[in-house]
Structure 1
């Protein structure tokens, strides 16, 4: 087991615990840029990693009653078929080819930038939608928008492993502004479990999961997430999120240029 992967898993877990930002937006670019892992293998391994860690989180949120299963069902109606179709697309074109690897790299960069937008402007978007209740979707329109959002997230997550965290949570806030932060987090994690699991199975089928790497990341990240959750209150949230956003923007541009 490579100690550098364990340390990286711990560092990412620490940041996830402190900020709540999805590990994919941090882990996948780190594996690709710092360790030279191929984009397809980085995505596949991170999806397997996410399905395990989010599964543990879902159990906790279910016990606390902070999961809205009707919203989870709508998201999954869109996300799960989209994940399957995206996996077949990757299989058809070949995930390990150089051209597809570059496309995946661009998808990762784009998803990272979307995460930055979600990170910086989620509160402003929530304030706007709260101030304009007439713009809030209701009934069938809300259900349709939720399913479509799930489909978009399903494609993003399968191809880049990014989207089920900050982006998904931001979409939930915009569509369901009455949810509490705990309900947003619980619902976002719950729908992400079957999505990341199906996407991970797809990448296993494609041969793009490194199981030794996955074990090393889990060994480092689980204590990191726990510690980060305890330390979070001691660090100014605005400062931490600003530094994290700057880091992610830098990572995105490096992915595009490399």
Structure 2
């Protein structure tokens, strides 16, 4: 019972923090499970986390859909590109030794933390001309106009799908910065769209991990309820809390976790 309550708390924390900034929640789940259950193999860490992310993304996507902040065209196309990468990542993690997994994951978390800490306030000038022009109006009447280069999003989505499935994270940690800094998306639209993309790619990634027997379903039963509730809370808080402060706190947390992961490796 104590283990179930602990897993419920981890799922809640991951759901809130993940959906709040559009990163999923695997960057919380994988390190905590690795510390609490040191004998758990990397493939099971990634698979179990990905299954939890599927439930988290369903919950968060539902809220963002009601807010009308999802760019469905971008989400479906980016997801289509990330799905092959997610299958390859799930297959590849089977062959990674524990030490290599933890060191690689630690470096991955540091990169995410640095992006969150030192993210430019304005989009980076990209040499390619936009191929898509979009205009969205959310349920509060706020209008979002932007244009982006679709091929860039497609290529990066494939790589994000691979990394996400390999480490059991949502992929939003790379996709949201890409959408805001390189593709010109509004942060609010990027976070919401990223969650739908995570949901679509997580279906395939979770299925692949399940086929490979990489998922501890007992843990998922504990993590999923917290992730679902946390996803609802995080998506609603995203409209009210100061994003910059939250990102800085999250970045410091990720740096501490990454150092511990690399030391373990």
TM range (shorter): 0.7 to 0.9
Matched, 1:139 2:113: no
Provide the aligned length of Structure 1 versus Structure 2.
246
Alpha-carbon RMSD: 2.8
Q: TM-score, normalised by structure 1?
A: 0.81
Q: Which residue of 1 aligns with 2:164?
A: 157
1:130-149 CA-partner distances (Å, limit 9, x unpaired): xx4x7464239922211110
Whether the aligned pair in 1 keeps the contact of 2:122 and 2:181 (CA below 8 Å) is no
The residue correspondences of 1:165-244 to structure 2 (distance < 5 A) are 165-177=172-184, 179-227=185-233, 237-244=243-250
Question: Which moves more between the two structures, 203-212 or 20-29?
Answer: 20-29
Moved more, 182-191 or 64-73: 64-73
TM-score (norm 2): 0.80
| Residue 100 of structure 2 is aligned to residue 103 of structure 1 | yes
C-alpha separation between the residues in 1 aligned to 2:259 and 2:10?
A: 21
Instruction: Give the structure with the larger helix fraction.
Output: 1
Aligned equivalents of 1:61 and 1:203: distance in 2? 27
Q: CA deviation at 1:248?
A: 0.8
Q: Give the structure with the larger strand fraction.
A: 2
Kindly indicate whether the alpha-carbon contact (under 8 Å) linking 1:157 and 1:196 is maintained by their aligned counterparts in 2: no
* Paired residue secondary structure (2:122): helix
Q: CA deviation at 1:63?
A: 3.9
Distance 1:165 1:67, change over 3 A: same
| Residue matched to 2:68 | 65
Confirm or deny that 1:257 pairs with 2:263.
Answer: yes
User: Is the contact between residue 111 and residue 162 of structure 1 (CA under 8 Å) also seen in structure 2?
Assistant: no
Alpha-carbon distance change, 114 to 162 in structure 1, aligned in 2, over 3 angstroms: farther
The question of whether the paired residues in 2 share the 8 Å contact of 1:40 and 1:101 is answered with no
Q: Secondary structure at the match of 1:127?
A: coil
Q: Which residue of 2 aligns with 1:34?
A: 36
Instruction: Report deviation, 1:205.
Output: 1.4
Mapped pair 1:248 → 2:254 = yes
Paired with 2:233 and 2:71, the residues of 1 have a C-alpha distance of: 28
Shift of 1:151: 1.0
